[in-house]
Chain A
């Protein structure tokens, strides 16, 4: 079953604009990650935020996490045509005191950036 739900399901913007994608989840988590997927094949890890963090930055990416609302957002600033892809949030939970354990992915947001 899918834990996360992303919205919007699809987002279409112009190059240079910012893109914001949201993710909601249901159970307590240890960390939340965002992945990117091109052409329906392998996913690539973008950024990880732990449950005791509220905001993380990496280059043009900014992730926020609100554990009280069980939600996260991914902001891509100054978007480029090359950012066109599907973006997925994934939640991880502690398993036996470590962070080993499955990641549960959401349904994804399809981002299209027009040149």
Chain B
């Protein structure tokens, strides 16, 4: 697509529930990133994929968080047993390596997760 698409844009859930957030990156972008942003903070790295594999998942806070990208395009961030502290905007970004040899990210609009 023309841009990075994230769904849903807003998700309200109850503590303990399971949530899936979806990201559809720019066509042809091999790298896909997930960040989490709390109010008043900068984006916090969670995980990034090169193709289908997770190249770096060091930012996932605990084993309740998991992300997949089975065909190297769309990715899903999965959160089990949600907690109130998981409330944040979850940002997805994709990149192509061709710009100046560095990974310039194109971000989606984000999915705002609220855990009651």
Contact A88 B42 (CB under 8 A): yes
Residues of B within 8 A of A28 (CB): none
Cβ-defined partner of A100 (8 Å) among B43, B45, B103: B103
B contacts with A, residue count (CB < 8 A): 32
Kindly state whether residue A30 has any CB partner on chain B within 8 Å: yes
Kindly state whether residue B12 has any CB partner on chain A within 8 Å: no
Chain A proximity mask over B78-108: 1 for CB below 8 Å, otherwise 0: 0000000000010101000101111111111
Kindly state whether residue A48 has any CB partner on chain B within 8 Å: yes
Kindly state whether residue B2 has any CB partner on chain A within 8 Å: no
Contact B102 A42 (CB under 8 A): no
Cβ-defined partner of A88 (8 Å) among B43, B48, B93, B100: B43
Bound CA–CA A100/B42 (angstroms):
21
List 18 contacting pairs A-B, 8 Å CB cutoff, sorted by A. A2-B41, A2-B44, A33-B102, A35-B107, A40-B89, A41-B110, A42-B4, A44-B107, A48-B100, A88-B42, A92-B102, A99-B103, A100-B97, A101-B55, A102-B45, A102-B56, A103-B33, A107-B41
A residues in contact (CB < 8 Å) with B:
2, 4, 30-31, 33, 35, 40-45, 48, 50, 88, 90, 92, 95, 98-108
B residues in contact (CB < 8 Å) with A:
4, 31, 33, 35, 37, 39, 41-45, 48, 50, 55-56, 59, 89, 91, 93, 97, 99-110
